[in-house]
Amino acid sequence: MKTNQMTSFRGIATIGSFCLAAVLGAALLSPSMMVQASEGRIVPAPMQDETVGKGTETAIFAGGCFWGVQGVFQHVGGVISATSGYAGGAADTAKYETVSTGSTGHAEAVKIIYDPSKVTYGHLLQIYFSVVTDPTQLNQQGPDHGTQYRTAIFPTTAMQTTIAKAYIDQLQAAHVYGAPIVTRIESGKFYKAEAHHQDYLALHPTQAYIAVNDIPKVQDLKSMFPGDYRGQPVLVMN
């Protein structure tokens, strides 16, 4: 369910090709208008984490609109790729228009391929809970409402399940937030989203929805985790 004008801009932008300047007009913001108040906070690092290994690993996080989640992790050092998609539902309904009804069981999610020798799963979770999502909002993030915008973690290994559960318990016990954490640990396959949803933040940083809701998250990443911030994002559609 779309609840305000910014969210309606998001719906318009997904129609066909990117003719945002013509469609949105004044909805394109100048860089000076892009800085918004941020609610990000650095949360404690996980006490339990994966052992540094060789090769690559895969993490899947849902944290509201996948545009912003993908955009943040594309700027994290050690991340090889971050792809927008859908997780938690069936293959035949993993389409934006169907998922947007909130009836398919999917969450908008991002699949992250990363190098655990450069960034660990636990640290990705710390970034997720610090700058990507508000884990106290049930079935919504900011202006977006519906089960497809829930916060959820989809572990790809038994170790990730153990780390994620322990970390949520740790944050809950420390009363990091002023309300209970509702982020769920779920299972389900990941399905890549349509091409026009990939690299959306990188391609359209001044589009109104992105400027207000997502650019501040990238700025939080840069200020809170400067050692992890990569200025040039790793893109899907190269």
Report how far residue 70's alpha carbon sits from residue 77's, in angstroms, rounded to the nearest whole number: 13
Per-residue H/E/C for the chain: CECCHHHHHHHHHCCCCCCHHHHHHHHECCHHHCCCCCCCCCCCCCCCCCCCCCCCEEEEEEECCHHHHHHHHCCECCEEEEEEEEECCCHHHCCHHHHCCCCCCCEEEEEEEECCCCCCHHHHHHHHHHHHCCCCCCCEECCEECHHHCEEECCCCHHHHHHHHHHHHHHHHCCCCCCCCCCEECCCCEEECCHHHCCHHHHCCCEHHHHHHCHHHHHHHHHHCCCCECCCCCCCCC
- Select from 126, 121, 187 the least CA-distant residue to 153: 187
- Select from 152, 149, 127, 157 the least CA-distant residue to 67: 149
Report how far residue 37's alpha carbon sits from residue 17's, in angstroms, rounded to the nearest whole number: 31
Instruction: Based on the residue annotation, tell me whether 19 is a catalytic residue of this protein.
Output: no
Give the active site residue among 6, 65, 201, 236. Answer: 65
The residues annotated with a catalytic role in the active site are 65
